[in-house]
Structure 1
Amino acid sequence: MPDVVYTFLLALGGSLPVVLAGLVALRALRGRSVTAHIVVILLVTVLSVLAGIVGAAMRMFISDHDLHVLLIVVGTAATVSLAVGLWSGRRLARASMWAAEAREREREAEARRRELVAWVSHDLRTPLAGLRAMAEALDDGVVSDPETVADYHRRISAETDRMAALVDDLFELSRINAGALRLSVADVPLGDVISDAIASAAPLAAAEHIRIVAEPSGGTAGWPVVRGSVPELSRVVNNLIRNAIRYTPPDGTVTVTGGQDAGGGWLAVSDTCGGIPEADLPRVFDVAFRGAPARTPEKEAGGGLGLAIVRGLVEAHQGAVAVDNVGDGCRFVVRLPTADRPVRAGMGHPAAPAVAG
């Protein structure tokens, strides 16, 4: 038998059992991490080479010195290969995990987009149908008495304003999501922003028999001066106050407080809505999330965009917003950077203020 064929058979006899054992191990590791598979493949490769060398060396004329040198070379190569394989496997595992998380986030975002389209379609289609019916009734002379005509005009104006506000919310949300928001940052007295927002929301609160109370931490000097853009901060405070009014029952109270601590400036809006179900708390700031309709069956739920806009604008200011159930209602806390104390990640909420009755 030629030496080449004989050597081949010796090497095959030594490496074949290792390869078969490796196949069994890979089958047993099905569903395990990428790193485990790569390590097994490298071990099978190296050990099969080593077994083939040993099998051939035991039946051939080779000096002990040459065999030791060969084993050292193969062992060194095996060590390096296993180290590189382990490093590569961990990187591939992390990349696979990140890719899976990215796909999951993409699926969630797509689901939220579909939900948003459904909500907005409903919110636009329903009032548009009413507007068309009222306009046709006025054009055809079906409604002619002055009182009803005036009521139709009032309702048309109110629905038009509501749809304009919805379109404005959509535009603001698209700017935030597209990264097209440009802030004109300056030192802003938060007390002035809150005062203007309360004055703007006062007619809505009066119509619902809801009291708005402003309680700065530490007295009148307690309102912090934050770094931010006035129009966007005004929108944040307005959205929070109007959201609190929307979900507070008649004769309830909305409390606005704020101050400054080691984490920077903060403001909080508390209401007496009865609280938010614990399962809904993580989704409060999601686009088009409106919560349980049973909370406020007699009030218009809104477009479900206000709190999503709040989160986007606050995060654009390098701040943070959170919500918790407190007492007989819930409390939204916004943290904003100040000129000398930027907001730090992981800071806790300030102590809950007393809600005025």
Structure 2
Amino acid sequence: MTTEMLQIGGYALLAGGVVGAAGAGALRLLRGRSILVHILLLLAVTVLAVVAGVVTVAQAMFLSGHDLRVVLVTVSASAVVSLVAGGLFGRRLAASAVWARAARERERRLESGRRELVAWVSHDLRTPLAGLRAMAEALEDGVIDDPATTAEYHRRIRVETDRMTRLVDDLFELSRINAGALRPTPTAVPLREVVSDALAGVAPLAASRRITLVAPETGWPVVWAGERELSRVVGNLLVNSVRYTPAGGTVRVEAGHDGGDVWLAVADTCGGIPDGDLARVFDVAFRGEPARTPGREDSGAGGGLGLAIVRGLVEAHGGRVGVRNGDGGCRFEVRLPAAEAVTVR
């Protein structure tokens, strides 16, 4: 009996080994394919190894054709169940792998953005701090005694202090957004008032660069949003467009309804954004070409955080923001819930 069992086991191992070797070769050839393909192939090899072992043992033991067919039907039914279950499991595993790769890629981009942010902020703080220290030491030591130069030093100290204050405010706002601590209190906000205040705030910068600000007098909708956050969104978009529009250009603000949403668009004549940069415009610390590095008093530089803050604030309201090129410049568009649509609900 023992010898017979060993003989049966030998036949089964031989047949299964041949199928297994063929399956290993197939796996090697398909090593670049998806996880689902690998799982289905492994299940198929397992089933074929069982079938080969059964057939070989049946032939060696001279089983009747009827008994062999019964065994093969049973094995086939089990194989169908195994392949279906394996396919479902493989699809879920493949989807999980895709999600994991996407998560790793997103984490890589975030880490790269954090490194860029640290580098940019370090530069944006170190440079004005060095200037502030030099001017303060010159005033303290009495090296400067010319009233006009002294007044200019005081003015420069105030300008650089204001710029660093804006940078610190942006960092604080961004940290609240990333930590999920931002809790806007939406109300019905007349968009015309918010845009009017933002235009008044950016008017001196636009005038110094001879940029024309255009906005319609009527047709402004009412949006459902936090007034402070919405003012920050509009202000950041306007400053960004004015900063990168060449002298003599135009920045236009428009708004309207689209179903239950309100859209707000800020269009400029900056010449457009390279296609490769469009997807990164709202990333933290992204500034694009070197020409966007702060170097002018009117730059309003904020470490490349302005548009990242816009996206964070808009998404905190359940809205969307995007950008596209057209008409000699780029067009930023924000979509938020309309106050009427929220009230009706």
TM-score, normalising length from structure 2?
0.92
Which amino acid in structure 2 is aligned with residue 154 of structure 1? R
The residue that corresponds to 1:203 in the other structure is 204
Residue 194 of structure 1 and its aligned partner are, at CA, apart by 0.5
After TM superposition, the structure 1 stretch with the greater mean CA deviation from structure 2, 144-153 or 117-126, is: 144-153
The residue that corresponds to 2:155 in the other structure is 154
The residue that corresponds to 1:349 in the other structure is none
After TM superposition, the structure 1 stretch with the greater mean CA deviation from structure 2, 325-334 or 193-202, is: 325-334
Q: How does 1:94-109 map to 2 (within 5 A)?
A: 94-109=95-110
CA contact (8 A) 1:314 1:320 kept: yes
Q: 1:226-281 CA deviation, whole Å, 9 max, x = no partner? A: 10000000001111111122122333322211121325211111222222222222
Residue 10 of structure 1 and its aligned partner are, at CA, apart by 2.6
Residue 65 of structure 1 and its aligned partner are, at CA, apart by 4.2
Q: How does 1:264-303 map to 2 (within 5 A)?
A: 264-294=261-291, 299=296, 300=299, 302=301, 303=303
283 and 9 in structure 1: CA distance in 2 versus 1, 3 angstrom threshold: closer
**Structure ranking higher in helix proportion:** 2
- What SS does the aligned partner of 2:279 have? helix
Q: 1:145-165 CA deviation, whole Å, 9 max, x = no partner? A: 221111111110110010000
Q: What stretches of structure 2 of length at least 5 have no aligned partner?
A: none
After TM superposition, the structure 1 stretch with the greater mean CA deviation from structure 2, 330-339 or 61-70, is: 61-70
Alignment of 1:338 onto 2:335: no
Q: 1:62-93 CA deviation, whole Å, 9 max, x = no partner? A: 44444333222211111111111111112111
The Cα RMSD (Å) is 2.0
Which amino acid in structure 2 is aligned with residue 198 of structure 1? L
41 and 158 in structure 1: CA distance in 2 versus 1, 3 angstrom threshold: same
CA contact (8 A) 1:247 1:296 kept: no
The residue that corresponds to 1:253 in the other structure is 250
Name the CA distance, whole Å, in 1 between partners of 2:61 and 2:257: 84
- What SS does the aligned partner of 1:168 have? helix
The residue that corresponds to 1:347 in the other structure is none
Q: Percent identity?
A: 62
Name the CA distance, whole Å, in 2 between partners of 1:31 and 1:91: 19
Name the CA distance, whole Å, in 2 between partners of 1:227 and 1:96: 39
Q: What stretches of structure 1 of length at least 5 have no aligned partner?
A: 343-357
Name the CA distance, whole Å, in 2 between partners of 1:159 and 1:298: 12
Alignment of 1:141 onto 2:138: no
- What SS does the aligned partner of 1:330 have? strand
CA contact (8 A) 1:321 1:334 kept: yes
115 and 108 in structure 1: CA distance in 2 versus 1, 3 angstrom threshold: same
The residue that corresponds to 2:225 in the other structure is 228
Count of residues in correspondence between the two structures: 338
Which amino acid in structure 2 is aligned with residue 268 of structure 1? A
TM-score, normalising length from structure 1?
0.89
Which amino acid in structure 2 is aligned with residue 211 of structure 1? T
Name the CA distance, whole Å, in 1 between partners of 2:209 and 2:14: 89
CA contact (8 A) 1:205 1:211 kept: yes
Name the CA distance, whole Å, in 1 between partners of 2:327 and 2:295: 23
